[in-house]
């Protein structure tokens, strides 16, 4: 009776180790990234083939392979030399980390409240672009991230939501006039 329990316990332990390794690898290599394309030296937005990375990660360093690139399909046959940038700094080229670092210590441009510390699961602040339109992170193409951030201002979730409501549903907000100048109902 003790031998089957021991076998089950060992098997469960090994499965846990494998699951931990796969989960950690997936967490480390998931998400949109910004790299410098070796061919034209411009930013490119890429994502890794996370299933391939996980499948090759057991017992050794994972083999990285692109799943998508903003320069595809025109340059789909490239040698993927940009992967060396991800291997050198897997966390440094992640869009979410670039944004988290950009918000650090900043206040909302609209209301002045501190952006503060937030998690990826909480309501995220937005970006007020140079054209004065606030956008969510997912609306910024990865290859345009650095250029957008260089001219943008941080804006909190509440101010972004208010601006978006005004922009998209102005007719629903009482007291504002409609396009003809008459008060909205």
Both 109 and 171 in one domain: the answer is yes
Note whether residue 80 is domain-resident: yes
End residue of a domain, out of 78, 93, 108: 93
- Structure pTM? 0.75
Q: Which domain holds residue 169?
A: 95-185
pLDDT in tens, 41-51: 999 999 999 88
Q: Are residues 157 and 183 in the same domain?
A: yes
Report, as ranges of residue numbers, the positions in the chain whose pLDDT lies below 70.
1-3, 18-19, 21-23, 120, 174-185
Residues 108 and 180 in one domain: yes
Distances (CA, A) of 164 to 72, 126, 170, 172: 31, 11, 9, 12
List, for residues 55-80, the tens digit of each pLDDT value: 787 777 788 999 999 999 988 888 99
Structure-block tokens of residue 26:
């997936």
* Tally of structural domains, the chain: 2
Nearest one of 22, 80, 81 to 52, comparing CA atoms? 22
Give the full edge-to-edge strand order of the sheet including 126-128.
134-135, 126-128, 153-155
Domain boundary among 93, 121, 144: 93
Same domain, 85 and 104: no
138 and 185 inside one domain = yes
């Amino acid at each position: 009776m003790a031998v089957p329990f021991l076998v089950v316990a060992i098997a469960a332990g090994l499965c846990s180790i494998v699951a931990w390794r796969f989960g950690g690898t997936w967490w480390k290599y998931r998400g949109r990234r910004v790299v410098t394309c070796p061919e034209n030296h411009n930013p490119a937005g890429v994502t890794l083939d996370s299933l391939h990375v996980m499948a090759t990660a057991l017992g050794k360093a994972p083999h990285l392979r692109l799943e998508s690139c903003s320069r595809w399909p025109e340059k789909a046959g490239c040698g993927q030399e940009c992967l060396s940038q991800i291997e050198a700094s897997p966390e440094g080229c992640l869009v979410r980390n670039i944004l988290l670092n950009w918000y650090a210590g900043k206040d909302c441009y609209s209301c002045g409240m501190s952006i503060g510390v937030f998690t990826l699961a909480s309501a995220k602040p937005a970006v007020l672009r140079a054209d004065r339109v606030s956008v969510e992170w997912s609306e910024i193409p990865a290859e345009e991230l650095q250029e957008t951030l260089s001219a943008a201002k941080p804006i909190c979730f509440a101010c972004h939501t208010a601006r978006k409501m005004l922009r998209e549903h102005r007719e629903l907000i009482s007291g504002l006039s409609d396009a003809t100048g008459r008060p909205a109902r």
